[in-house]
Chain A
């Protein structure tokens, strides 16, 4: 079987695993990037969100074979960016993170949204984050955090 090559957190990587493996498992078990969580395992909760070519994707539904030649960014890679610093500050300020399990997914969903739409309306933020469940905040604080990040990060997205 041919090796699968892709870019992971801005580094070229090559793996010799079955293309049928879930990207989620490859990230957690092979690369030890455990910021990507398994929640429901069926694409409903968004805890496993990663960016594939910059767009938020549920890594529990993605076979490794589908990321051949693509760019995958997990929360570990994203924390090295300026945009992350802004989102972190905004989430802290608004109380957008409590237990934290949804937070990596929420942050990456927010990045995916802001990269396409730097000045989203409240409704657009709600749609952008609609694939990510949070059982702590009641969402409003997360929505406010993304609104704040869009303001603080003016020009970054």
Chain B
């Protein structure tokens, strides 16, 4: 018999996790569908369930002026992040393209991360912004970069007694950014391909440039070495390197064919988008 626990505090949550293995239920927008059963019956949960959607301690957005870090509670609703003035604009845009209003009013950022879907839009922004994940257990706390936390398709570095409590995002000054989501519908779709890119120009030179793809590999595809090789160059110099950039991008993506799209389309579109991103670089 599956046990259901609705804790009132984070401490109660951590104590429960310390004693047994649980499905952690945040907004439910992924888990309720994955475990879906016939109408009128309880979903097919294979483990006990812990309901954390209403924990106030995990519902916050703070910007620390001193460290220039944004702190987002793991159970903060996607719509609250999308509409918050202190959240980096790129991330706000990306999150506004997740689901529809009815999904964003219940889905959480912690859930988007823990679900570790190859098509998780939020992950693309978090990879690009070098977000870190705070993981808490009854007796310990650790902070790791998102790219280390996500280990594969629906596979994350989270022990049975741990829970994601916070997402920490360094501020990232930029001149321009680009977010593209390719889906079957304008809204409420799961990405076939997604792309986020961001750059900062200083005195005619590219000081920072980052770009990453979603839905074309087991998780977000980003090549930091390639980005570094483009820094401190002028825009025309980078555009001259477009063939090399496309070749390098081609190496880091490994799209598959599934019910939403096919690998040829995904590869072509992903490379077209990065090509446009590079060609559209501008000083202001």
Contacts and interface: CB of A to CB of B under 8 A. Distances in A.
A19 B79 CA distance: 24
Nearest to A29: B40
Contacts of A44: 188
A39 to B, nearest CB: 12
Interface residues of A, number: 39
Interface stretch (A79-87, A128-136, A149-157): A128-136
Contacts of A130: 100-101, 186-188
Interface string B85-123: 000000000000001111101100000000000000000
Interface string B142-172: 0000000000000000000000000000000
Contacts of B54: 66, 68-70
A127 B96 CA distance: 9
B21 to A, nearest CB: 16
Most A Cβ at <10 Å: residue of B4, B27, B54, B79: B4
Closest 5 CB pairs of A and B: A131-B100, A130-B187, A65-B51, A58-B102, A19-B4
17 contacts: A19-B6, A25-B41, A29-B40, A55-B79, A56-B101, A58-B106, A61-B32, A63-B28, A63-B32, A65-B49, A66-B25, A66-B54, A66-B106, A68-B6, A131-B99, A131-B100, A131-B102
Interface of B: 2, 4, 6, 25, 27-29, 32-33, 36, 39-43, 45, 49, 51, 53-54, 79, 99-103, 105-106, 186-188
Given A20-B42, A63-B51, 17 more contacts: A18-B4, A19-B49, A20-B2, A22-B32, A29-B40, A41-B33, A56-B101, A61-B103, A61-B106, A62-B106, A66-B27, A66-B54, A68-B54, A112-B101, A127-B101, A130-B101, A130-B188
